[in-house]
Chain A
Amino acid sequence: GQNIDQPTEMTATEGAIVQINCTYQTSGFNGLFWYQQHAGEAPTFLSYNVLDGLEEKGRFSSFLSRSKGYSYLLLKELQMKDSASYLCAVRDSNYQLIWGAGTKLIIKP
């Protein structure tokens, strides 16, 4: 079967750095996505990785290792507005997105 695993919840302090991990087992791989979802709102696109390595976009970076079936999202200089759920999704061999259950990130002052 296909599976995406990520921690259910994480807590971090404003101004700090947090790393959210995602491991996957899917039938084929055509890229990995990270989305942010604030409570009661729609998911919004954060990043895309298809090759191994780090993609940096401002305070957010995303890393991929295809051989390990592993990705992480790194958030720096945390702000209160970063409190949200972070969803990891993998595009499989049928070009469908397989989604993890999401990681709820709680930021404390």
Chain B
Amino acid sequence: IAGITQAPTSQILAAGRRMTLRCTQDMRHNAMYWYRQDLGLGLRLIHYSNTAGTTGKGEVPDGYSVSRANTDDFPLTLASAVPSQTSVYFCASSEAGTSGTDTQYFGPGTRLTVL
């Protein structure tokens, strides 16, 4: 069982380029999340999806978009990358999304550098 996979592992990107970070889970979880993690800051939620076909904005959604066409995949797109989007990006999933006990499980992360 792979759990959650992310691709690429790392990427260096020129500013202004478009980039899609991929996330796939095989646990049949309903909810999925995208976070960014920056030094000295807590994980910050970018976008989330409580079930296939629905998405919502998190704390820092500007410059990012997501789609949830099916249960397993939750890609994150940077339409025109800027240096402030340099970060480590984590995808996570959980069974329900709207339950107090719901535990999130994380993918290995993508380290993105925008120059």
Give 1 or 0 for each of A31-67: 1 = CB within 8 Å of chain B CB.
1010000000111110010100000000000000000
In the complex, the answer to whether A48 meets B42 with C-beta atoms within 8 Å is: no
Interface residues of B in 68-112 (CB under 8 A from A): 90, 97-109
Closest-by-CB residue of A relative to B39 is A101
Asked if A101 meets B48 with Cβ closer than 8 Å, knowing A42-B108, A95-B100, the reply is no
Size of interface on A: residues with Cβ below 8 Å to B: 22
Interface residues of B in 25-78 (CB under 8 A from A): 40-45, 48, 58
Cβ contacts under 8 Å, B103 to chain A: 33, 45, 48
In the complex, the answer to whether A44 meets B42 with C-beta atoms within 8 Å is: no
In the complex, the answer to whether B42 meets A100 with C-beta atoms within 8 Å is: yes
| A25 beta carbon closer than 8 Å to chain B | no
Which of B41, B58, B99 touches A101 (beta carbons < 8 Å)?
B41
Cβ contacts under 8 Å, A76 to chain B: none
Asked if A95 meets B98 with Cβ closer than 8 Å, knowing A41-B108, A42-B107, A48-B103, the reply is yes
Asked if A99 meets B43 with Cβ closer than 8 Å, knowing A41-B108, A42-B109, the reply is yes
Cβ contacts under 8 Å, B41 to chain A: 101
Residues of A near any B CB (own CB < 8 A): 4, 30-31, 33, 41-45, 48, 50, 87, 89, 91, 95-102
**24 pairs from A and B in contact (CB 8 Å cutoff):** A4-B42, A30-B100, A31-B100, A41-B109, A42-B106, A42-B108, A42-B109, A43-B90, A44-B106, A48-B101, A48-B103, A50-B100, A50-B101, A89-B42, A91-B100, A91-B102, A95-B98, A96-B45, A97-B43, A98-B42, A99-B42, A99-B43, A100-B42, A101-B41
